[in-house]
Chains A and B, each alone.
Chain A
Amino acid sequence: MGYASDCRSSVLGHGEKDLIREVKRISKSGWLLGIALCCSVILPLRAQEVVSEVQVIVSDSINLDELSAAQLRRIFTMRQRQWPSGEPIKVYVLPNQDPLHQHFTKSQLSMFPYQLERLWNKLVYSGLSERPLEVYSQDQMLKAIGATPGAIGYLSKEIVLEGRGVKKLSVVKGDSHD
């Protein structure tokens, strides 16, 4: 991953030089060059993170094998607090800045991380509900979900789940109303 990241930075570095040459050719105006330089600094910062695919996991106590995308969104936005069995749902997340959290939020919940953060803030600071429990690494996530009945979270696809008290949950795109 480090090598891939270095290669990507290097390619983006050439891209910046090309962009500057192109901008100089099109216009000699200083302000346009300034805007282009800003973009060339900001945009690569956004593009450098490489994250692996994500899998949704639950504790072995959950008697489900799949969940609709809409239900997953209800759970992570803390609007569904119990499993169909009546067992309370314990939601675990990685910190907001973690690339896997950002990838999970965008790819599985179809939201941007800042929207999710704002929604949790509304719940916490108006007493409507509680925010998810935060863990600081995938290893902590795996241990916490394995040890907590009713827990749900997410991990990279490469993480092996066997013998850890957790299982993968398939997320069905669309929703239960379709």
Chain B
Amino acid sequence: MTKGLGAMLVLGLVSWSVCLAAAEDDTVWHGFVAQGVMRAQDSNFVNDSGKLSTNLTEVGLNFSHGLSNNLRVAGQAVYLDGGNRYPQGARVDYLFADWTLVQTADWQANMHLGRFKNYHWLYSSTRDVPHTRPSIVLPQSIYFDVFRDLIVGNDGLALVLNLDNSMGEWEAYWSYGSTPVDQEQMKNFLGKEANGDLEQDFVHQLSVYFRPRNYNLQMGLVLLDSDFTYRSESADFFLDGKGQSQRTMLNFRYNAEHWEIAAELIQERAVFRGLIHPAYVRDAKSQGGFVQGRAFINKDITAMVRLDILDMDKDDRGGEKFEQETGIPQRFAYMDSLTLGLTWKLAPQWKLQAEYHKFKGTSRLSPIFLPDVQLNDQKYWDMWAVQLMYWF
């Protein structure tokens, strides 16, 4: 589906749903407000100065409106301020028509048309909703903040299937579409010197989840294929180019009454052609993932520990070859982190979350393609954040 058609679909659905919501009073509304402070010294993860920042604001409002037993429309708009992590401002995270194709006692199939959420990864469907996340900043090996808007959802078509059989519960998601990339996101990815346009040609995803009967565990497999095109402008540092991303991800979660463990592994083949000179090709497979444990200490307090690892090239984990070929320091070839977090449920709709991250490496700090080696001059750096959340 083209970017233009996707944008038209979203605009059409916005107008339609605003009219519906105004006309009907059985629409269900939910929302959230969160504000916090964070500081990342020795890196530009939050801001260029490394000083304490209040750029940790998230506000969202969503609705769901049933048109009939089989047709529904749902949408969510958010305002975000995350410093350097993603562009500041308002956006529509999702807005789609949900058509129930089949519904029996054992299985259900739905089709979504419009801008839908990324349901495929372990935390992707609610990564933009503060009180649903295990931590304020998600593991960057997979939930890469620079590509936040690209990861949250797509404009296009999705199919959602869930069924129960004698083995257990199954969920399958398929989606095809694309997401607009604005100038700030493009510069966060390529570099401040880029003046052209970056477009996502398509993103195609398939995921399958399985929960065996009588076991509190879940396993998932995710496949992703996406192409990008860069069209340079005059006086642009970059030339025209193409990018390709192919992800294979596995995830696992085990739930006990007072603790849980979750893990998500990724291998991503990233191919870049052009951009630097017409014959330039960079083709590498990154590998990484996280393991996360959470302990529900009592009904109000949850403690979390997580180890997250990412190597940008599985054949050059230390970045020696990368430095020789590009002149970019080795620390930009990996980024590992250890996170400790605490969540305190203050009241039924209030939470306070605090966390500390220790990082080794800088590969997920913006800009990605042409990194800022002056601002991100340390191999080891740390970050902490505290955020107060309210939802309804």
Interface residues of A (CB under 8 A from B): 42, 45-46, 70-71, 74, 79-82, 84, 86, 88, 95-97, 106, 110-112, 114-115, 118, 121-122, 124-130, 175-178
Contacts and interface: CB of A to CB of B under 8 A. Distances in A.
Given A97-B348, A125-B129, A127-B117, A112 B162 contact: no
A125 B126 contact: yes
Contacts of B69: 81-82, 86, 88
Given A81-B103, A118-B132, A125-B132, A70 B164 contact: yes
B132 A177 contact: no
Given A97-B299, A128-B117, 8 more contacts: A79-B162, A81-B69, A81-B100, A97-B348, A126-B126, A128-B98, A129-B64, A176-B106
A128 B125 CA distance: 10
B160 A84 contact: no
Contacts of B52: none
Contacts, number: 94
B165 interface: yes
Contacts of B22: none
Contact of B103 (A82, A118, A177, A178): A82
Which of A70, A110, A126 neighbours the largest number of chain B CB atoms within 10 Å of its CB? A126
7 contacts: A81-B69, A86-B69, A121-B129, A125-B126, A126-B117, A127-B76, A129-B64
Contact of A126 (B94, B103, B216, B296): B94
B211 to A, nearest CB: 10
Given A74-B164, A127-B96, A127-B116, A121 B126 contact: yes
B75 A46 contact: no
Interface of B: 28, 30, 60, 62, 64, 69, 74-76, 94, 96, 98, 100, 103, 105-106, 108, 110, 116-117, 119, 125-126, 128-129, 131-132, 160, 162, 164-166, 213-214, 216, 255-258, 296-299, 348
B75 to A, nearest CB: 7
Contact of A127 (B94, B105, B298): B94
A63 to B, nearest CB: 14
A128 B126 CA distance: 11
B299 A122 contact: no
Contact of A125 (B30, B160, B297): B30
Given A81-B100, A97-B348, A127-B94, A42 B297 contact: yes
Contacts of B132: 118, 121-122, 125
A125 B28 contact: no
Contacts of B160: 128
Given A118-B132, A176-B106, A127 B64 contact: yes
B261 to A, nearest CB: 13
B124 to A, nearest CB: 9
Contacts of B213: 175
Nearest to A115: B255
A122 B108 contact: no
A128 B119 contact: yes
Given A115-B255, A128-B119, A80 B125 contact: no
B64 A130 contact: yes
Contact of B296 (A79, A95, A114, A176): A114
Nearest to A117: B132
Given A79-B108, A112-B216, A46 B298 contact: yes
Contacts of A71: 105
A128 B258 CA distance: 28
A152 B313 CA distance: 53
A150 to B, nearest CB: 11
B125 A122 contact: yes
Nearest to A118: B132
Nearest to B114: A127
Contacts of B214: 110
